[in-house]
A and B are shown apart, each in its own frame.
Chain A
Amino acid sequence: MARKTEQVEVRMVAEYLKAQYSKFPHITNQPLGLVDESLLAKYGYSKGMGIQRPRRPIVDAIVILPNYLVMVEAKVWSVVNGLGKLPLYKSLVPLTPELKEYKPREVLMELVVGWTNPNLEVMARDVGVTIRVYCPDWLKEKVDTMQNYWTPQYRIAREDKLRNRELLGLE
């Protein structure tokens, strides 16, 4: 059975940016790090950038404040992954040609999550990341689904739903 993906974090980032930073320019899905000019010369700009894409990590958003750049990563599920990425991504900001015009600015890091816990806060403080909880109703539903995913009740209900879909010939 085909599974449909849902761009939960795309919507989460876009809403968060509009709610918090609508007065400032912001860039979503910003690739970070050096660009290999020799590949651009050999393959042309489009293909050259495409070849380099796997080597250039993408941060969910960069907010351009007058004196700071705020790197924003949003996570609904793998929150610790998001926390781990941000300090590593920060090291690439000074090397990113697309962000050259915004130097020199200090880089701040924000992890936007649907839920938090004391341990996450401790880890975030230790690596200089600010945790922002953004959880509108539509996201709360997703977070609850995730937190209940492995409970027996949810598993039974899910199996029942999938069985009914098969019976009715729905995708």
Chain B
Amino acid sequence: MVLQNNVILQNGIPTRLHFTDHRIEKRTITEPATGRQVLRSVLALDVDQLDGRPVVAILSTMAEKLAGQFAPYLTDKSYVNFNFTITQLGDGFTRTWSVKVTPR
């Protein structure tokens, strides 16, 4: 088993994940553009498999564009029945994520 705090997505590289639990956390972050401290909601997903290997890690995101793709699976925690392969595309405000959802 690999111990790793956070899953870091790399541009253009597909990352296959399996989630076991999730929560919405409030975190204070520094906005890169303004340097201001702001309180933001973060979706944190517990990961137990990364590219087929067992891990203990967290995928967290503030991006509604990414979090919105998991939204239907959060209420009933049905994400446990799927693998999610996430490919991050682009940088900055134009960044988006392609997510492949595969039933297990």
Contact = CB atoms under 8 A, between A and B. Distances in A.
B65 A10 contact: yes
Contacts of B72: 11, 14-15, 18-19
A22 B103 contact: yes
Contact of B91 (A10, A25, A50): A50
B60 to A, nearest CB: 18
A10 B69 CA distance: 6
B89 A53 contact: yes
A75 interface: no
Q: Please tell me the size bucket of the interface on A.
A: 20 to 34
B71 interface: yes
A45 interface: yes
Contact of B89 (A19, A22, A31): A31
A135 interface: no
A7 B100 contact: no
B94 interface: yes
B96 A58 contact: yes
Interface string B70-92: 11110000100000000001110
Interface in A18-40: 18-19, 22-31
A47 to B, nearest CB: 8
A57 to B, nearest CB: 12
B36 to A, nearest CB: 13
A24 B10 CA distance: 26
B101 interface: yes
Given A7-B64, A24-B103, A29 B71 contact: no
A30 B72 CA distance: 19
Nearest to A25: B102
Interface string B32-72: 00000000000000000000000000000000110011111
A30 B91 contact: no
Nearest to B76: A18
A63 to B, nearest CB: 10
A18 B73 contact: yes
Contacts of A17: 101
A7 B101 contact: no
A165 B89 CA distance: 36
Given A26-B101, A31-B89, A46-B10, A15 B96 contact: no
Interface of B: 10-13, 64-65, 68-73, 78, 89-91, 94, 96-103
4 closest A-B pairs (Cβ-Cβ)? A10-B68, A46-B11, A18-B72, A29-B98
29 contacts: A10-B65, A10-B68, A10-B69, A11-B71, A14-B69, A14-B72, A15-B71, A18-B72, A19-B72, A24-B103, A25-B102, A26-B100, A27-B99, A27-B100, A27-B101, A28-B69, A28-B99, A28-B100, A28-B101, A29-B89, A29-B96, A29-B97, A30-B98, A31-B89, A31-B98, A46-B11, A50-B12, A50-B91, A53-B90
